[in-house]
Amino acid sequence: MSIDPPAKSHPETAADLWARFRRATPARIGLARAGDAVRTEALLDFQLAHAQARDAIHTGVDFAALAERMGRPTLHVHSAAPDRATYIRRPDLGRRLGAPSRPLLEANRADPPWDVAFIVADGLSSAAVEDHAAPLLQAVLPQAAGWRIAPIVLAEQARVALSDEIGALLNTRLAVMLIGERPGLSVRNSLGIYITFDPRPGRADSERNCISNIHADGLSYETAAEKLLWLMAESRRLQATGFFLKEAAGHAPPARLQEE
C-alpha cells in the first residue's frame, strides 16, 4: 500500500498570510528567504531604510524656509553645540543655549508672562520637522486663541531640555516643544511634543508630558492637536505637568482653551 507524502503548503498561500499582517504594521515580518539569507529585495529595502534614517539625523533643517511656513513671528536660536557632529557626540551641549541666542530671547521677554511658547526643534530627525511641524501648529494655533502666545522659537541643534532655558528667558508659563524623534528603520520622520509647566533649567523629564509618534502611520495632526490642547488646558488648571498630569484626552470632552 502506498502512502502519499504530506501536501506541501503552496508558497503563495504563505505569502498571502504574511501580507495580511504586513498591512497592520510597518515592521519587517515574514521576510522571504533565499537559503540562509533574506532575499535581495528585502536586503535592499533594509539598506535604504537605514540610509534614510541616517540622513534624517545628519541633514539640517532649512530654518529660513520653515520660518516662512509658520505664518507668525519667529525667533531663530542655537544651542551650545556649534555643529551637527558635535551635537550628536555631546547631548549635553544640545540642552544648553548658545550665548549669542540669549539676547534675542531676553528682548522678547514678557511681563506679565507669556501663557505659552511653542518651540520647534530639529532634534534627531530633520525630516520630522520639515514634514510635520508647520501643519501640526496650523491645527493647534487657531484653537488656542485665548492664550498669549510668544513668537515661535526655531531651535537648532536642540535637545528637549533646551526648552527649559528658552522658556525661562522668554518668561512663559508653559513651554511646548515640537521635536524630531530618533528615527528607526520603519519610521524616519516621527515628531514628538514635550510640554513643561513653569520651564526653567534643572527641570526633570518626569516633570514633562510627551505626545509621540506623529507621522503618516501614527498620530494624525488632528488627534495630536486634541491631545496637546487638552494637556495645555489641564496644565494651566493644575499648574503642573509631568507625573502630576495624567493625559486623558479622548476620554473626556476636550477643554476649549478660548473659554477659560
Assigned C-alpha cell, 84:
551637527
**Averaged pLDDT score across all residues of the chain:** 89
Answer yes or no: is pLDDT of 13 > 80: no
CB atoms within 10 A of CB 173: 19
Q: Which residues pair with 78 in a beta bridge?
A: 156
**For residues 160-166, average pLDDT:** 98
Answer yes or no: is pLDDT of 206 > 60: yes
- Residue located via cell numbers 516621527: 190
Distance (Å, whole) CA 174 – CA 139: 18
Distance (Å, whole) CA 148 – CA 143: 12
Q: Are the CB atoms for 77 and 145 separated by under 8 Å?
A: no
Q: What was the pLDDT predicted at 253?
A: 40
Give burial (CB, 10 Å; 0-12/13-18/19+) of 21.
exposed
Q: Are the CB atoms for 241 and 231 separated by under 8 Å?
A: yes
**For residues 208-218, average pLDDT:** 95
Q: Are the CB atoms for 147 and 257 separated by under 8 Å?
A: yes
Least confident range from 8-12, 55-59, 232-236: namely 8-12
Question: What's the order of all strands across the beta sheet hosting 208-214?
Answer: 74-78, 152-156, 117-121, 174-180, 191-197, 208-214
The more confident residue out of 22 and 56 is 56
Biggest CA-to-CA distance, the chain: 96
Q: What was the pLDDT predicted at 24?
A: 80
% of the chain residues with pLDDT over 70: 89
Q: What was the pLDDT predicted at 42?
A: 85
- With residues binned 3-state (H G I as helix, E B as strand, rest as coil), the percentages for the chain, rounded to 5, are 45, 20, 40
The DSSP-derived string for 138-168 is: HHHGGGGTTS-BPPEEEEES--TTHHHHHHH
Query: What domains can you pick out in the chain, each with its CATH number?
Result: 58-259 (3.40.50.11240)
pTM: 0.84
- Residue located via cell numbers 494624525: 220
Answer yes or no: is pLDDT of 171 > 70: yes
Assigned C-alpha cell, 194:
514635550
Q: How confident is the model at residue 220 (pLDDT cuts 50, 70, 90)?
A: very high
Identity of the amino acid at 91: P
Pick the closest to residue 197 from 235, 163, 162, 229 (CA basis): 235
Distance (Å, whole) CA 187 – CA 215: 8
pLDDT digits (tens, 9 = 90+) for 73-97: 999 999 999 999 999 999 999 999 9
Pairing outcome for strands 174-180 and 117-121: parallel
Distance (Å, whole) CA 164 – CA 105: 12
Residue 114, SS3 per DSSP: strand
